[in-house]
Amino acid sequence: MPSQEIESNMNKSVEATQRNFNTIRTGRANTTLLDRISVEYYGVETPLKSLATISTPDSQTISIQPFDISSLTLIEKAISISDLGFTPNNDGKIIRINIPPLTEERRKEFCKLASKYAEEGKVALRNIRREAIDKIKKSEKDGDLSIDQSRDQQDSIQKLTDKFIHLIEQKLTDKETEILKV
């Protein structure tokens, strides 16, 4: 497994972790909070952002304007049954969601969730490292690499893994700061 491929896979893991972080509420309105919501539109699960324009007119409100007015109630229902805990307000043309300020308890729950996402990202990085090191050891066993070459490659993969784990930890610290900011 070439170094560029390993680095690319590790980058994808960090990006996936960042996308998970983006779905966590911070007390301010953010359109990425609705990224995971899908609506059953004509019998097909469709991402909300494909059905409507989503914007944040102010720091406490998310506005959703459907492209097709007939999907308004479907969108409202999908938001209501989601695990986000939002109550959508439908005025017949636009759905507005008021983002209530977070309680201290809720902030701590979201920090735990962010930690869980970070840990999942680190596990994904370690799995990439393990696969790469297994391939190197196999090459060494087959006689394609010397012991020194094998150790050098394993060390470089470990350094790469450490770099990306540090990056995830930094993103976690930033997200926790954002969540706890009142």
* Dihedral, 79, 85, 87, 92 alpha carbons, nearest 10: -10
Full residue range of the structural domain in which residue 45 is found: 31-98
What pLDDT, on a 0 to 100 scale, did the predictor assign at position 17? 93
Burial class (CB in 10 A: 0-12, 13-18, 19+), 69: exposed
Same domain, yes or no, for 116 and 175?
A: yes
Same domain, yes or no, for 17 and 107?
A: yes
Domain with residue 48: its CATH number is 3.30.1360.40
pTM (2 decimals)? 0.74
- In sequence order, the β-bridge partners of residue 89 are 96
pLDDT for 182 beyond 70: no
pLDDT (tens digit, 9 = 90+) per residue, 4-33?
A: 899 999 999 999 999 888 888 777 778 888
Question: How many Cβ atoms sit within 10 Å of the Cβ of residue 131?
Answer: 14
- The total number of structural domains in the chain stands at 2
Sequence-ordered alpha helix ranges (H) in the chain: 3-22, 48-51, 72-81, 104-142, 147-180
Q: Which amino acid is at 178?
A: E
Of 65, 98, 131, the one marking the end of a domain is 98
